[in-house]
Amino acid sequence: MQRGKLDIGLISLILVNKCVDFVPTIGKTILGVYLTFYLGCTLREGIKKPFPLSEEQLEVIVKEEKDKLNMQEEVTLLVSEPLAAQSCKVDGRYFIELGGRARDRDTVRHELYHIYKRHVDKEFDPIRYFMLQEPQAIFYEYFNIKI
């Protein structure tokens, strides 16, 4: 009996020690993979598009991409010259702002997905944004995967 308890105690101790070693490694690995993924996509974003689309082209794309997501929400498109890519909700209305080199279909898909998933309805939380909402939008933008 005593011996059994000692064994369980020892095994627990070893497991806890292993876990303590293991957790930071897993955390670092996840963070490393995430940062590589995020920076890779951001870098690709910066180098891929030499010709920003016009407002008329973007209006058509917003409609096409909304249909793909079966979205009923009214989304107002704001087009600017300086680089901009954001979606927001103001007074119950949804907006997408696209500017500079972000005036393309990929960015429309990305920003629409933030609206589709109701990310813009919530209070901004940097942890939730970088660890959940942004990867979701990037996965949809690049791989057409809804998560």
Residues that bind Zn ion (CB under 5 A): 134, 137
Helix ranges, the chain (H):
2-47, 55-68, 105-116, 126-128, 134-143
Residue 63 Cβ vs Zn ion, minimum distance, rounded to whole Å: 20
CB of 124 to Zn ion, least distance (A): 12
Sign, CA dihedral 31-99-72-124, equals positive
Three-state SS annotation for 61-88 = HHHHHHHHCCCCCCEEEEEECCCEEEEE
Residue nearest to Zn ion (CB): 137
Comparing CB distances to Zn ion, the nearer of 62 and 137 is 137
Dist. CA 47–CA 128, nearest whole Å: 27
CB 107 within 8 A of CB 87: no
Least distance (Å) from Zn ion to the CB of residue 134?
5
CB of 85 to Zn ion, least distance (A): 7
| Nearer residue to Zn ion within complex by CB, 15 or 147 | 147
Which of 79/137 has CB closer to Zn ion? 137
In the complex, minimum distance from the CB of residue 91 to Zn ion, in angstroms, rounded to a whole number? 22
| Complex with Zn ion: residue 115 or 137, whichever CB lies closer | 137
User: Distance (Å, rounded) from C-alpha 96 to C-alpha 104?
Assistant: 12
Q: In terms of CB distance, is 108 or 137 closer to Zn ion?
A: 137
Instruction: Decide: 65 and 112 in contact? Cβ < 8 Å.
Output: yes
